[in-house]
């Protein structure tokens, strides 16, 4: 407890301990983490099986997509067992009319394991989309770097002090700008290159890209309500992220791999990947 001095006019100031309130995971959140872990493991197994009869040279989407759910399984295992988490405490002042203002410490549980997961898996999801659309390596790399910056800035913001606007919302703003860069890059370059791959691949890419755009945009909104403004409980936050994560990883993965299986034209040729086509420069 941090002691605070309170003073009432005409009285000797007394030192009162600051009460601490914890916003922490409950039974429902804990169970949800375990169920999501199981679903991620199951999806990883099925994705690996889907590559069974596929020659190794044509397994790039299977490999990337399976890695995404394997990493999510590890992250959910860590969170379910109580790892990869910390508390972000800040002082909240309650203002009273006739008695001196009092302060409380509010400590909210932050699962930093999510950010480790997102740092690794969101680049892989972008890689899936960029390879499908035929975006060259240079532009893919730029989108991926912006994406990693987005997630890390989100982590810094989550650990930032609640009352410190520059620290908390400054990082959040930088993350949002990086996110806009990611969307703009993937939509612009993907939209441009995918048309050369025919109507089937174009339709698949546009469907997956729109699905991704809608889902990904929900993350900063939920983050703002849950981690930023602390308006919902830690359990509700876990439930919402679980729904989003299942859509963004297993559902996205099934959609991609099953369509890929049915459409031979989604097979990719990685020659000339970096510069796009044979080089004519020096």
Q: Return d(Cα 16, Cα 3) in angstroms, integer.
A: 5
Nearer Cβ to ligand RET (60/155)? 155
Site string for ligand RET, 206-235 (x = CB under 6 A): ----------x--xx--x------------
* Segment lying near ligand RET (by CB under 6 A), choices 4-12, 161-169, 242-250, 264-272: 242-250
DSSP state of 18: P
Minimum Å gap between C-beta 135 and ligand RET is 18
- The verdict on 237 binding ligand RET (CB under 6 A) reads no
Site string for ligand RET, 140-159 (x = CB under 6 A): ----------xx--x--x--
Minimum Å gap between C-beta 13 and ligand RET is 42
Minimum Å gap between C-beta 217 and ligand RET is 7
- The verdict on 176 binding ligand RET (CB under 6 A) reads yes
> Residue 244 has which token pair?
């989003």
Nearer Cβ to ligand RET (235/245)? 245
Query: 3-state DSSP: the chain helix, strand, coil percent, rounded to 5?
Result: 65, 10, 25
Location of structure tokens 């989407």: 61
| Inter-residue contact 160 to 168 (CB < 8 Å) | yes
- The verdict on 179 binding ligand RET (CB under 6 A) reads yes
Q: Return d(Cα 34, Cα 106) in angstroms, integer.
A: 27
- The verdict on 245 binding ligand RET (CB under 6 A) reads yes
- The verdict on 123 binding ligand RET (CB under 6 A) reads no
| Inter-residue contact 271 to 57 (CB < 8 Å) | no
- The verdict on 111 binding ligand RET (CB under 6 A) reads no
Distance in Å from the first CA to the final CA of the chain: 68
Minimum Å gap between C-beta 227 and ligand RET is 8
Site string for ligand RET, 7-26 (x = CB under 6 A): --------------------
DSSP letters spanning 47-116: HHHHTTTS-GGG-HHHHHHHHHHHHHHHHHHHHHTT-S-EEEEEEEEE--SSS--EEEEEEEEE-THHHH
| Inter-residue contact 194 to 202 (CB < 8 Å) | yes
Minimum Å gap between C-beta 10 and ligand RET is 49
> How far is the CA of 241 from the CAs of 114, 139, 145, 201, in angstroms?
10, 29, 23, 30
Binding site for ligand RET (CB under 6 A): 118, 121-122, 150-151, 154, 157, 172, 175-176, 179, 216, 219-220, 223, 245, 248-249
């Amino acid at each position: 407890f941090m002691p605070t001095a309170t003073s009432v006019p005409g009285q000797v100031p007394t030192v009162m301990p600051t009460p601490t309130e914890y916003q922490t995971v409950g039974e429902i959140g804990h169970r949800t983490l375990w169920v999501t872990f199981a679903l991620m493991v199951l999806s990883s197994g099925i994705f690996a099986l889907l590559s069974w009869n596929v020659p190794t040279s044509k397994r790039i989407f299977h490999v990337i997509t399976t890695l995404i759910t394997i990493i999510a399984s590890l992250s959910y295992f860590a969170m379910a067992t109580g790892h990869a988490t910390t508390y972000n405490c800040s002082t909240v002042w309650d203002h009273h009319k006739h008695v001196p203002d009092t302060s409380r410490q509010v400590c909210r549980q932050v699962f930093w394991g999510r950010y480790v997961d997102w740092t690794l898996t969101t680049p892989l999801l972008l890689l899936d989309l960029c390879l499908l659309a035929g975006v060259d390596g240079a532009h893919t790399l730029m989108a991926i770097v912006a994406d990693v910056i987005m997630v890390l800035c989100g982590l810094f913001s989550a650990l930032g002090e609640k009352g410190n606007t520059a620290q908390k919302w400054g990082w959040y703003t930088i993350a949002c700008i990086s996110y806009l860069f990611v969307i703009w890059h993937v939509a612009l370059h993907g939209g441009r290159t995918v048309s050369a791959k025919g109507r089937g691949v174009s339709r698949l890419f546009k469907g997956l890209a729109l699905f991704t755009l809608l889902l990904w945009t929900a993350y900063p909104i939920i983050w703002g309500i849950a981690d930023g403004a602390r308006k919902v409980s830690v359990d509700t936050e876990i439930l919402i992220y679980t729904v989003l994560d299942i859509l963004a990883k297993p559902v996205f993965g099934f959609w991609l791999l099953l369509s890929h299986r049915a459409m031979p034209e989604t097979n990719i040729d990685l020659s000339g990947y970096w510069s796009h086509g044979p080089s004519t420069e020096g």
